[in-house]
Structure 1
Amino acid sequence: MYHPRKLRMVTIGGGISAMNLAHMLMHEKKMDDVVEHVIYEANEVLGGTWWVNKYPGVACDVPAHIYTFPFEPNPDWSAFYASGSEIHDYFMRTVKKYNLDRDVKLSHRIVGATFDEYEGIWNLRVEHDGRVFDDWCNILISATGFLSSWSWPDIPGLEDFKGLKAHSAAWDTSYDYSNKRIAMVGNGSSAIQIMPELAKIEGTEIVNFVRSPTWITPGLGSAVIDGQTNKVYSEEEKREFREKPEKLKAYRKAIQHGSNEAFAMFEKDSDAQKAAFNATSKMMLDRLGGNTELAAKLTPTWEVGCRRVTPGPSYLESFLRPNVSLTTSPISHITRTGITTHDATHHPFDAIICATGFNVSHRPAFPLVGLNGTSLSAQWSEEPLAYLSICAPNFPNYFMFGGPNAPVGHGSLMAALGWTAEYICRWVRKMCEEDVKWVCVTERATQELNAYADEVMQGLVWSGGCRSWYKKGRVEGRVTAVWGGSAVGFKEVTDVLRPEDFRIEYRTKNRFRWMGSGKTKIEGEPGADLAFYLKK
């Protein structure tokens, strides 16, 4: 009974999600005997977003001590909020320590995937070094992340501009930004980090083009550091974390507890939401030096958290500098020399920086074809509907990290990625041991789960009156990015499998063939205790 067969698994992407899964397969679940794993990473270096993003000021707005792999706490973080380069260094150290890159193939990009229902496998097309070759797998994992495909804004004339055009996700490190007139288009997380750094460069003149205001809040978990903008750890504190693991664990638990407890702020009309609204409004005004005119333009009227909340150290203070200004008139078009706004003002620039976000449709960047020739891109052309953010109907043996409606706006992303990896491993183990050919979540279960979540979402701030990438850049409409509930709730529902929500196909006509001869493995072991089930 339960004699496993070996399955071939392919994971797309070599970032944090993939390394979480690799560690779980190799070390926690010890599944090398049942899984042959290949990780295809399109870039020449592992690390995902922390390798790709190189803009000035890039950092994580989640406390570093909970932005770690669950299996590798780091006592040596330099600060409460860590820089992108420090996170990538930690990532690479961890990968090497646990040999997590054992199954990685760098500079390999998946360009096509089609499911063979009869064989129960995915047929893949993989591009490497200018050529395309075929591969296959029983199980296909998407670990590309939900913010991996950046795009230029749809502004007329952008291609006509003759100065530097740079996107925050494809930063030009060779350009000399000093003594330049620079347009900063957008006020999302990246823009808020970039602008203060550009403002410090000698001779720069910065104009920030803002379509709608955004909340600049105390950082997630900042109550642990008394609401400071950031905290630099002393060598003594780091040494104590190294020498007293129990103290490090207690510190990390306090941060995580606080971030989970803060979920009350995301409930509409709650006392926590009202308190956050009032306190954050006052804090923003104070950081703007009491300038009520600026505060009126930069402070939202909708709920705190409707858009992703961002700490933004020095962002608001930048507007008090003589070389930084704000424009809220919408952009009409771009010319060869600059930007023209709807108020007929032309702003000349040497450089235009677009911090305008990513493609958040969740549609894959390559043809992904499931049952009955169904394209995932077509299936999600209007709204991406997933099951627990991990599975999609019509796509057997296909699992996602950070799919539609994942817990990306609250709690700890790193913890949620670990829970997702565990969920995937439970299915993989069941498939290996019960001779399952393929599993596919049903359309009915997916529709009902999303209908339930949409109802819950009406009581949460993410469905509020803001324009947000949580809603695919819309003011109205479904929330497609964020989990409809607490992070702890996500853990609860992913802790167990619900096979009743899935169609399961077996490799033989009789689903019980996996029982073999009817005897268990332990019965063939010399000296085994065959009365193990008798209890005191």
Structure 2
Amino acid sequence: MTRTQLKQSSEPSQPLSTSTYNITEKPLGTPQNVRIILVGAGASGINMLRALRLHLTPGSWTATAYEKNPRVGGTWYENRYPGCHCDIPAHNYQFAWRPNPGWSEFFAPAPEIEEYLEKAWSEEESQTEAAVLRTECQVVGAIWEEQNALWNVTVHDLKTGEIFTDRAQFLLDATGILNNWHWPDIPGRTDFKGEMVHSANWPNDFSSAGKTVAVIGNGSSGIQIVPAILPEVKSLVHFIRSPTWVAPPSLQTMAMGKAGKIMSEVELTAEGNFTPAQIEKFKSDPVLYRTFVKGVEDEVNGRFPIMLKDSPLQRFVFEKMSEYMTHELGGDERLCGALIPKFPVGCRRLTPGTGYLKALTAPKTRLITEGIARIIPEGVELVSGEKVTLDTIVCATGFDVSFRPRFPLVGREGNLQDIWAKQLPRAYMSCAVSGFPNYFMFLGPNAPIGHGSVFTITEHIAKYIVRVIKKIQTEGITAVAPSPEAVAEFAEHIDTFMPRTAWQGSCRSWFKGGSKDGPVTALHPGSRIHFFHMLETFRGEDWLYTYKKGVKANRFVYLGNGFSSKELDGSDTTWYLDEPDKLYL
């Protein structure tokens, strides 16, 4: 066998450049100091602050979270209507890093979730001085300052009335999607002489006892409110615009699914409450508790195949849910025709509505599917001209789901409010926007908001954002934003994938911005696990970078003086011997 020899050039190598480039006298990995502004202190905000504390170098960052409410909790501080529960099992609607074996019900009531978030924040706040929470402070505007690579953020102190400006390298938007409630667009709304309340702004002193009450809307909130207030009202009028799938109680479906074995070992009352003995078992037996949590989580994660249009499983669930709803409605032809959809299961958000369908068969309940022409002083006038006299109108009519920011957000290409008013909201992997450097959001366009617990979803997004911040801190970068091409191609994938799903079916849904047949803007094109997997790696090739000024343009300036911070910070310099097969991404 002949060995081929490579001919070596006799020409001396030439330096790539002469002169102005200088070595920075800092070791590789030295972070630049950054300031971070976080908007909102609900579940996403609380978790983001914890991720910053755990993963950024102490002393290299500070953050201020601005929360418009008097307390943390976001949606769960604001929603307190009768019957308000989460529709995700309580033991999965929690942070993975803060298990709570003490949930009282399989589906946690709103006050318990709010208390859980309060405690989580209190514990987190005590562990860091780098993060500050300012309540009753509402962000009202933000402008990107290209020259200094800073966000100028305008804040309204709701307590004092003061308007002030804060500045930071990063703006993290944790305001959420189901948080900005709105009144229904019905003529004459302000003419009504009785009480009018919104499900997301429920007065603490409100009572429906002995009154004729209308509930407008059959989304998740309306489905929970109707059976909750029925026992105390004089009569109930329920206005719905379209049918919706109402799921059987999850306790029944889970008992027949992958979580069946562990569910059979758990003590629950007929109402879905954990017995005191079971709560004590969870607290004293961490193995049992962990098995239960993972079993139910596995069940929730496995529901995506139901959402695939025209699949055998979709057809099976369609038939079984039709049978269930028919049974619960007592076979009433009018009610079944009004409530049971013809569109695919999952086209609208699927809600377990314990007691809802039975409530519609009650003698003092009237279901109205006819359109509302206007609201009048004494109640509601229908399209037919009939006038319905009411004492109270409850608007369970949802939220602004346009994804447009709550405040003017001005980046390199203008105000995102205006941009997304004219075109579909498009984001990179749901959390970043082309032309808006160092801006990240939680549960933005095409996030997996309908795929299961948002708590663990926010954990994955927070870790993704932290990786980007660390990259900027340690690689001589001042700003980063996804490229227009990457966002456009991600959108192309979404639009091509969605017709495979029930979400694209012909139904009016907030998944499609409230439209009937529009594109799906609110959901991820895949399963929950697919989303988590997608966020495991940072695709640097999809991003545009701005590097530090004042030195010659050289992307490797961050390599520094030849030393690594890993050999100078007192940590183990032989870590690679401990896990020789670990792949660092």
TM bin (shorter chain) = over 0.9
State the alpha-carbon separation in 2 of the partners of residues 447 and 456 from structure 1. Answer: 14
- Indicate whether 1:376 and 2:403 are aligned: no
What SS does the aligned partner of 1:200 have?
A: coil
Separation in 1, partners of 2:575, 2:528? 42
Candidates 420, 425, 448, aligned match of 2:461 = 420
Q: Which residue of 2 aligns with 1:88?
A: 114
For structure 1, the residue ranges without an aligned partner over 5 or more in a row are: none
Which AA in structure 2 matches 1:180? Answer: K
Asked if structure 2 preserves the Cα contact closer than 8 Å seen for 1:12 and 1:141, the reply is yes
CA contact (8 A) 1:453 1:484 kept: yes
Distance 1:199 1:532, change over 3 A: closer
| TM-fit CA distance, 1:97 | 2.5
Amino acid at match of 1:464: G
Matched, 1:29 2:66: no
Structure 2 SS opposite 1:273: helix
Query: Whose Rg is larger?
Result: 2
1:238 to 279, 283, 298: 279
**Whole-Å Cα distance in 1 between the matches of residues 389 and 197 of structure 2?**
16
User: Structure 1 residue 474: deviation in Å?
Assistant: 0.5
Match of 1:123 among 125, 132, 152: 152
Q: Partner of 1:172: helix, strand, or coil?
A: coil
Residue in 2 aligned with 1:487? Answer: 528
Unpaired runs of at least 5, structure 2: 1-27, 258-267
The answer on whether the counterparts of 2:306 and 2:313 sit within 8 Å (CA) in structure 1 is yes
* 1:455 maps onto 2:511 in alignment: no
The counterpart of 2:88, out of the listed 62, 74, 78, is: 62
CA distance in structure 1 between the partners assigned to 2:573 and 2:52 by the alignment? 29
The offset of 1:219, in angstroms, is: 4.8
Check the 8 A contact 2:106/2:272 in 1, yes or no.
Answer: yes
1:526: how far off? 8.0
Counterparts in 2 of 1:236 and 1:114: CA distance versus 1, 3 Å: same
TM-score, structure 2 length as denominator?
0.88
Please report how far the alpha carbon of residue 220 of structure 1 lies from its aligned counterpart in structure 2 after TM superposition. 5.4
Structure 1 Cα separation of the partners of residues 172 and 570 of structure 2: 39
Matched, 1:79 2:131: no
- Check 1:236–1:139 CA distance in 2 against 1; reply closer, same or farther (3 A cut): same
Asked if 1:328 corresponds to 2:372, the answer is no
Q: Say whether residues 1:210 and 2:240 are aligned partners.
A: yes
Q: Does 1:7 align with 2:34?
A: yes
Write the distance in 1 (CA, Å) between the matches of 2:274 and 2:572.
53
Measure, in 1, the Cα distance between the counterparts of 2:101 and 2:467: 31
1:160 aligns with 2:191: yes
- Distance in 2, matches of 1:442 and 1:121, equals 19
Write the distance in 1 (CA, Å) between the matches of 2:544 and 2:323.
Answer: 53
Mapped to 2, the partners of 1:87 and 1:353 lie a distance apart of 23
Partner of 2:294: 253
Q: Could you tell me which of 366, 369, 391 is aligned with 1:350?
A: 391
Identity %: 36
Asked if 1:514 corresponds to 2:558, the answer is: yes
Q: Does 1:179 align with 2:179?
A: no
d(CA) in 2 for partners of 1:58, 1:31: 40
Offset of residue 530 of structure 1: 7.4
Q: What amino acid is aligned across from residue 42 of structure 2 in structure 1?
A: G
User: SS state of the match for residue 321, structure 1?
Assistant: coil
- Which residue identity does 1:15 align to in structure 2? G
Residue 246 of structure 2 aligns to a residue whose secondary structure is coil
Distance 2:281 2:573 in 1: 46
Residues 4 and 342 of structure 1: is their aligned pair in 2 closer, same or farther, counting only changes over 3 Å?
Answer: same
Query: What is the TM-score when the length of structure 1 is the normalising length?
Result: 0.96
Deviation of 1:179 (Å): 1.8
Deviations 1:82-136, CA, capped at 9 Å, x for gaps: 1000111111122223327952111111111000111111011111120101110
Q: Say whether the 8 Å CA contact 2:31–2:57 is kept in structure 1.
A: no
Instruction: Look up the match of 2:329.
Output: 288
- Asked if 2 retains the 8 angstrom alpha-carbon contact of 1:37 and 1:103, the reply is yes
Most deviating of 63-72 and 286-295: 286-295
The 8 Å contact of residues 81 and 230 in structure 1, kept in 2 or not, is answered as no
Contact 2:234 2:364 in 1 (8 A): yes
> Kindly tell me: are residues 288 and 243 of structure 1, through their superposed partners in 2, closer, same or farther at Cα, counting changes over 3 Å?
same
Summarize the Cα distance change of 1:533–1:255 in structure 2 as closer, same or farther, 3 Å threshold. closer
Tell which deviates more after alignment, 312-321 or 390-399.
312-321
Alpha-carbon distance between aligned partners in 1 of 2:465 and 2:251, rounded to the nearest angstrom: 29
Deviation at 1:329, TM superposition (A): 0.6
2:291 counterpart of 1:266: no
- Contact 1:221 1:255 (C-alpha < 8 Å) held by counterparts: no
Give the whole-Å Cα distance in 2 for the aligned partners of 1:282 and 1:91: 38
Shift of 1:293: 2.4
State the partner residue of 1:191: 222
Instruction: Tell me how far 1:501 sits from its aligned partner.
Output: 0.7
Q: Quickly say closer, same or farther: Cα 1:348–1:31, change in 2 above 3 A.
A: farther
* Correspondence 1:133 to 2:164: yes
Which digits, 9 at most, give the CA deviation of each residue in 1:193-240, with x for residues without a partner?
Answer: 111122111x52111011101110035575334599852111221111
**In the comparison of the two structures, how many residue pairs are matched?**
533
**Separation of aligned partners in 2, 1:254 and 1:241:** 14
Matching residue's letter, 1:174: D
1:503 pairs, out of 541, 544, 551, with 544
Q: CA deviation at 1:171?
A: 1.1
- Contact 1:221 / 1:258 at 8 angstroms: preserved in 2? no
Aligned to 1:464: 505
Q: Rate the CA distance shift 1:221–1:456 in 2: closer, same or farther, 3 A.
A: farther
> 1:29: how far off?
1.9
Distance apart, 1:522 and its partner CA: 4.3
* Residue 224 (structure 1) aligned to one of 254, 261, 267: 254
The alpha carbon displacement at 1:411 in A equals: 3.2
Offset at residue 499 of structure 1 (A): 1.1
| Cα deviations by residue, 1:11-30 (Å, 9 ceiling, x for unpaired) | 0001000111112222x325
SS of the counterpart of 1:224?
A: helix
Question: Residue 44 of structure 1 aligns with which residue?
Answer: 70
Counterpart CA distance in 2 for 1:221 and 1:290 is 23
Could you tell me whether the CA contact under 8 Å between 2:478 and 2:547 is conserved in 1? yes
Provide the residue aligned with 2:7 in structure 1. none
Q: Deviation of residue 281 (structure 1)?
A: 0.7
1:296-333 C-alpha deviation (Å, 9 max, x unpaired): 11111100110000111111111121111100111111
Provide the rounded CA distance (Å) in 1 between the counterparts of 2:91 and 2:357: 26
- Are 1:13 and 1:48, in contact at CA under 8 Å, matched by a contact in 2? yes
Partner Cα separation in structure 2 for residue 405 and residue 110 of structure 1: 24
User: Who is 2:14 aligned against?
Assistant: none
Secondary structure in 2 aligned to 1:118? coil
- 1:438 — aligned with what? 479
After the TM superposition, list the runs of 4 or more consecutive aligned residues in structure 1 that deviate by more than 3 angstroms: 219-230, 522-536
Deviations, residues 31-74 of structure 1 (Å, cap 9, x unaligned): 43322111110111111011111111111000001000110111
Distance 1:297 1:528, change over 3 A: closer
1:444-479, Cα deviation, whole Å (9 max, x unpaired):
110110111111111011100110011111011110
Alpha-carbon spacing, 1:398–1:30, altered in 2? closer, same or farther (3 Å): closer
Q: Deviations over 1:359-392 (max 9, x none)?
A: 00011111100014x1111111131101111001
Q: How far has the Cα of 1:275 moved from its partner?
A: 1.2
